[in-house]
Amino acid sequence: MSSSAPAPADLSSLVERALEAARGGGATAADVGISVDTGLSVTVRLGEVETLEYQRDRGMGITAYVGGRKGAATTGDLSWPAIAATVAKAISIARFTAEDAYAGLPEPDTLARSIPDLELSHPWELEAEGAIELARRCEAAALAFDPRITNSEGATVGTHRAQRVYGNTLGFIGGYPSTYSSVSCVVMGQAGEQQERDYWYTAARDWRRLEDVESVGRHAAERTARRLGATRMATTRAPVLFVPELARGLVGHFIGAIRGGAQYRRSSFLLDAAGEQLFPAFFGISERPHLPGALGSAPFDAEGCATHDRELVAGGVLAGYVLNTYAARKLGLRTTGNAGGVHNLLVHPGEDDFEALIRRMHRGLVVTELMGQGVNGVTGDYSRGATGFWVEEGELRHPVNEITIAGNLKDMYRQLVAVGRDVDTRGSVVTGSLLIEEMTIAGE
């Protein structure tokens, strides 16, 4: 995929001009972000091209401050007249907003002083014909895996590049390129009148680190075939094992509860929980923003603040919150460099692989898919539709569906029994399977 995206120096120059225009227009402070994204995505279904998309997005956003008043505006046009008009609009908006003592740019000493090369950009010179061929091979491998695989929702191959530059009137300007490539496949199977669907995908900054496309297809088909014959089960209480791609969501609910916004709004089930024992003593979470080539790596956050290693949970104890500058000020703290999100949260793995966790559970439920949005971030109440596999005597016995699992997140975190070493690296939260001591499983 060829690209004629502007050079980083050109984007930096536009950021500098926009900041100068903001100062000249009466802003006492301002920050500007400019991004250019390009991409190619192809989906093949039953051997035929279903979608072929070329993406090219450009945008600029500015936040202008006039004293304690704040205004923001965006544009998708990177011509100078459009940028100048957008800057003027942000300043105009700021003059009409209310004063906010906590608004403003970060403290200067929190800004990144150096921008390390984290090896986040690995362009894939993939043209449409090549992407179509890869998608066809992926889907073909899935359809050939098992005669019960009877239909497909398609195989998709995509690759994307981004160039982002951020600057503010404190003198910070920084940017870096990044890439993201992926292959995915979704197929359906049938046994009698029952139909099931499942998927698999691979994703990486560096396309050379993707799983081969045939492996993705076969894995999607295998997951689908294993679900055939699923039945409902009687309501019970039992241990529940979340596979890694779903365990990531449990960690995500935890992060949502310790974000600064949830804390200062007093809308978290983990309110004022810093320093509390929230997990068993074996449990830990580290943030490692500078891992080369990782999907969650970033040299600075969305405000230009330096990202840094930290132990978010140590010995099961919450060490601190996830804060941007505004939330930190509201709480009387300092930013943690998390404006825009977290950066490579690593849940410390245990010694057991997936099979060992099943044996350890002995009897219970392995959850492989969740449905619905039944999570209350204020109370921690958790209730989700689920499918998966019932375990007896340490072995997978049969697939189950049309069930609901329920509990309270605070209790679920305390009742963690183990973290697997079957780590899933396809995101900014990296974790193995999570085994919960007991949950309510509602069925027939």
Residue 53 belongs to a domain:
yes
386 and 401 housed in the same domain: yes
Q: Which of 226, 247, 282 is the last residue of a domain?
A: 226
Residue 91 belongs to a domain:
yes
- Number of domains making up the chain: 2
Residue 340 sits at φ, ψ, to 5 deg, of 95, -5
Distance, in Å, from the CA atom of 28 to the CA atom of 404, rounded to the nearest integer, reads 53
| Order of strands across the sheet that contains 29-45 | 69-75, 48-66, 29-45, 149-168, 173-191, 194-204
Residue 331 sits at φ, ψ, to 5 deg, of -95, 0
Residue 3 belongs to a domain:
no
Q: Which of 177, 207, 226 is the last residue of a domain?
A: 226
The number of angstroms, rounded, from the C-alpha of 337 to the middle of its chain's C-alpha atoms is 17
Residue 129 sits at φ, ψ, to 5 deg, of -60, -45
DSSP alpha helices (H): ranges in 259-300? 260-264
Distance, in Å, from the CA atom of 181 to the CA atom of 158, rounded to the nearest integer, reads 6
349 and 410 housed in the same domain: yes
145 and 176 housed in the same domain: yes
- Residue 109 has what DSSP assignment? G
Residue 315 belongs to a domain:
yes
49 and 162 housed in the same domain: yes
198 and 283 housed in the same domain: no
Integer CA distances (angstroms), 40 to 5, 124, 160, 205, 367, in order:
14, 10, 6, 15, 33
261 and 182 housed in the same domain: no
Q: In 3D, which of 207, 213, 208, 211 has the Cα closest to residue 160?
A: 207
360 and 211 housed in the same domain: no
CATH number at residue 181: 3.30.2290.10
The domain in which residue 397 lies consists of 230-444
315 and 263 housed in the same domain: yes
Distance, in Å, from the CA atom of 173 to the CA atom of 11, rounded to the nearest integer, reads 10
Q: Tell me, what's the pLDDT at 337? A: 97
Distance, in Å, from the CA atom of 183 to the CA atom of 210, rounded to the nearest integer, reads 8
Residue 2 belongs to a domain:
no
Q: In angstroms, what is the C-alpha Rg of the chain?
A: 24
Q: Tell me, what's the pLDDT at 3? A: 46
How many CB atoms neighbour CB 81 within 10 A?
8
Distance, in Å, from the CA atom of 419 to the CA atom of 296, rounded to the nearest integer, reads 21
Six-digit token string for 84: 């100048």
With beta carbons less than 8 A apart as the criterion, state whether 213 and 44 touch: no
214 and 252 housed in the same domain: no
Residue 371 belongs to a domain:
yes
Distance, in Å, from the CA atom of 380 to the CA atom of 158, rounded to the nearest integer, reads 36
238 and 130 housed in the same domain: no
Q: In 3D, which of 105, 107, 134, 168 has the Cα closest to residue 42?
A: 134
Which H or E element spans position 155? strand 149-168
Helices 80-94 & 8-24, crossing angle to 10 degrees?
40
With beta carbons less than 8 A apart as the criterion, state whether 87 and 25 touch: yes
Q: Tell me, what's the pLDDT at 9? A: 76
Six-digit token string for 170: 């404190």
Q: Which residues of the chain have pLDDT under 70?
A: 1-8
What are 408-412's contacts with CB under 8 Å, separation 24+?
Answer: 408/269, 408/379, 408/380, 408/381, 408/382, 409/250, 409/253, 409/254, 409/257, 409/269, 409/375, 409/380, 409/381, 409/382, 410/269, 410/270, 410/278, 410/380, 411/380, 412/250, 412/382, 412/436, 412/439
With beta carbons less than 8 A apart as the criterion, state whether 241 and 365 touch: yes
218 and 256 housed in the same domain: no
Q: Which of 166, 198, 226 is the last residue of a domain?
A: 226
* Strand duo 317-318 + 429-430: pairing: unpaired
Contacts of 171 (CB under 8 A, 6+ apart): 108
Residue 350 belongs to a domain:
yes
Residue 370 belongs to a domain:
yes
Six-digit token string for 264: 């200062």
330 and 356 housed in the same domain: yes
